[in-house]
Homo-oligomer: A and B are copies of this chain.
C-alpha cells in the first residue's frame, strides 16, 4: 500500500500519458507513421532546447551524448577548457582524458559556480583551446552556472561552448541560440519526464565545422551518421522506439504548458524548498542555486545518510544524498519535470520528521508552512498547480 515519491534528480516521475505510451504495442521504426512521429518529436526538442539547429537523438544515457560532443568536436592532442565543480563537470574531464585531449581545468569549489572571468582568462592563456566544456545545472551540488555570461565570452573566441544541460534543461533557462551556445546535450530522464535511455545533442554551424575535421574515433556516437539519417527523419541505429513514442507524448505536455512555464514551475518549487530549508534553520549548499535541484547542507550533529534513509523508510519520499566526497554532507531535493508542488510539500514534511527523529531541534510544521506560503503566493501567477 505504498508508492515511492521520487524527489530525485533522475529518474524523475513519469506522467500517466508517458507510461501509457511506453506500454503500447511496439511499432516498427522504418514506417512513414513512425518517421512522422520522430520528425515531430525532434521539432519539439528544438523548441525545448531553444534552438533552430537540428537536434540529434542517441539511444544512450546522457553520458553518451557528452561523449558524442567530445569525440565529434576534437582530435587527440587538442586542448579543451573544462569548468570543474562537481561530479558531472568532472565527467567532461574524464571524457576528454579518455580521448587524449589536453585538459585545461578551471577549478571550482563544490557548491560554488565558475566566475565567467575565469573562462575569459583561460581562453586568453590558451588561445588554441578548441572547446569550453561546462554544465548548466550541476546535479551533484545544486548550482546553476551563468551560461549566458560564459557564452558571451566564448562566442568572441575561437572555442566552441559545450553545455551539459542534462538536468538543467526545462528547469533553468538555457537560450541556446539567443545566448550563442554551440552545443547543448541533454538526457531523457529529467525535465523531459521520460525514463532514462535517450540523449539529445544540438550542434550549430560553428561546431559542425569542427565535426568535419575531428579525428577522434567514433561510430555509435558519430554525428555525421546522425546528420545523414535525420534528413530521412531516422537514426543510424535502432532507437529505443517506445521512449521516442513517449517523448512525443511528453512534448505535447511540455509545449502545451510552454517552455517558460515549465521553467517557472521548477523555479517556484525551488523557492518553496529553499524557504522551507531556511525556516528550519538549514543552509543551502549552493551559492547560485539551480531551479532543478536544491542542495542543502546536513546540519551539524545529524547523520546525513540516516536522514535520507529515514525519509524513505517512514514516508517513501526519496531524495538524493551527496555523491562522492559530499556523501553524508548534503542532501538534494529535485524539482524537475513531473515533480509537483504537492511532492515538494510531502518532501518537506518527511524532512521535518526525519530531522526530529535524529534529534535536530526545529519547530515541526514550520518548514511546510514556509513552503506552502511560497507556493501559494505565486502558484496562480506561474500556473504551476495541477
Contact = CB atoms under 8 A, between A and B. Distances in A.
Nearest to A189: B238
A14 interface: yes
Contact of A6 (B26, B187, B220): B26
A52 to B, nearest CB: 28
Interface string A11-43: 111100001101111111101000000000000
A8 interface: yes
Contacts of A53: none
Contact of A59 (B24, B29, B197): B197
A216 B217 contact: yes
Contact of A217 (B4, B62, B98, B189): B98
Count copies of this chain in the complex.
Answer: 2
A237 interface: yes
A382 interface: no
Nearest to A33: B4
A352 interface: no
Nearest to A166: B238
Contacts of A59: 59-61, 64, 196-197
Interface string A228-261: 0000000001111111000000000000000000
Interface of A: 3-4, 6, 8, 10-14, 19-20, 22-29, 31, 59-64, 67, 71, 76, 94-95, 98-100, 187, 189, 195-197, 216-222, 237-243, 318
